[in-house]
């Protein structure tokens, strides 16, 4: 099946630092989504990207949909302790076939922020 | 409002029990999903409903039985589960099957 390679697997940073994580795929996606998940909770949608090259911000978060449609990155600026959690990228195809509408998730990036 | 509500939040059940997980959304979304998630792993798709009809079953064992009584509700009926089925079960919904999904807070299931 489709695979998303998300990196890094984990990050340990100081409060105030910027963070960058990315996802790459061997397949093309029509939509890229970024989620954050706190322990014991469901994933929360941070940013949705719909067009190749699109750059979207949500507060301190910025994400881009790669030109090739096979990659995306998420940046967090000036990290704070509440940014701690697991960040997942997810790609979605909008064409037919058995993968239609399915989300393919990356393995996640565990972010730890030291005060 | 992007709220998907799941009940119960926690559930402990024996291997011979029958229980149900419930999910509700009032956003007018026509696609609803069940996912299973193990610790520190990404969610794994189980079932997709589109316009109240089962659209995708990811070869899930029959001890998991989904039901979509109406466009706002999604149930997951559980019977004769195994300890390895213990996980966080997530419900999600989206406006249509190809749009971004919003997740509930999950049900933490423990099978003893």
pLDDT tens-digit series, residues B40-79: 899 999 999 999 999 999 999 999 999 999 999 999 999 9
Query: With contacts defined as CB-CB under 8 Å, which chain B residues touch A105?
Result: 42-43
Per-residue pLDDT tens over the stretch A96-112? 555 566 889 999 999 99
Nearest CA in chain B to A94: B98
- Arithmetic mean of pLDDT, A20-27: 95
Alpha-carbon torsion, ordered B13, B39, A47, B7, to 10 deg: 10
Return the structure tokens found at B6: 């799941």
Interface-testing mutation among A6, A30, A103, A104, with chain B (most B C-beta atoms within 10 A): A103
Nearest to A88 among B31, B42, B56 (CB): B42
What local confidence, expressed as pLDDT, does residue A1 receive?
52
Rounded-to-10 torsion of CA A84, A39, A33, B7: -150
Query: Which pLDDT tens digit goes with each residue over B70-112?
Result: 999 999 999 999 999 999 999 999 999 888 999 999 999 999 9
Report the share of chain B in percent with pLDDT over 70: 98
* Nearest CB to B42 within list A31, A108, A110: A108
Contact B31 A101 (CB under 8 A): yes
pLDDT tens for A28-76 read 999 999 999 999 899 999 999 999 999 999 999 999 999 999 999 999 9
Class of residue A92 by CB neighbours under 10 A (exposed 0-12, middle 13-18, buried 19+): buried
Q: Which of B10, B37, B43 to mutate to test the interface with A (most CBs of A within 10 A)?
A: B43
Worst-scoring range by mean pLDDT, A19-23, A75-79, A98-102? A98-102
Low-confidence winner among A2-11, A94-103, B19-28 (lowest mean pLDDT): A94-103
Give the CA distances from residue A97 to residues A26, A101, B43, in Å, rounded to whole numbers and listed in that order.
17, 9, 21
Report pLDDT for A93. Answer: 80
- Contacting residues of A for B43, CB less than 8 Å apart: 43, 88, 103, 105
Contact flag B56-A102 (C-beta cutoff 8 Å) = yes
Q: Look at residue A5 and tell me whether its pLDDT is greater than 90.
A: yes
- Nearest-CA distance A17 → chain B (Å): 24
With beta carbons under 8 A apart, name residues in chain A contacting B5. none
DSSP string over A42-96 = --EEEEEE-STT-EEEETTEEEEE-TTSSEEEEEE-S--GGG-EEEEEEEE--SS
Average pLDDT rounded to a whole number, residues A68-95 = 94
């Amino acid at each position: 099946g489709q695979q998303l390679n998300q990196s890094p697997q984990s990050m340990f940073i100081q409060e105030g630092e910027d963070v960058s994580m990315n996802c790459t795929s061997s397949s093309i996606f029509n939509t890229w989504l970024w989620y954050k998940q706190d322990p014991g909770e469901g994933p929360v949608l941070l940013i949705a990207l719909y067009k190749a090259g699109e750059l979207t911000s949500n507060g301190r978060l910025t994400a881009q949909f790669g030109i090739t449609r096979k990659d995306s990155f998420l940046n967090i600026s000036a990290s704070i302790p509440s940014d701690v959690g697991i960040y997942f990228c997810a790609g979605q195809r909008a064409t037919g076939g058995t993968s239609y509408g399915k989300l393919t998730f990356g393995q996640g990036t565990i972010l730890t922020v030291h005060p | 409002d992007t709220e998907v509500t799941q009940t119960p939040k926690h559930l402990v059940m024996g291997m011979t029990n029958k229980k149900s997980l419930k999910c509700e959304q009032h956003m007018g979304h026509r696609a609803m999903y069940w996912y299973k998630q193990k610790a520190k792993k990404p969610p794994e798709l189980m079932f997709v409903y589109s316009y109240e009809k089962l659209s995708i079953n990811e070869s899930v064992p029959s001890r998991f039985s989904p039901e979509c009584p109406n466009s706002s509700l999604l149930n997951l009926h559980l019977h004769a589960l195994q300890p390895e089925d213990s996980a966080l079960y997530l419900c999600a919904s989206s406006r249509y099957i190809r749009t971004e999904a919003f997740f509930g807070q999950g049900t933490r299931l423990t099978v003893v």
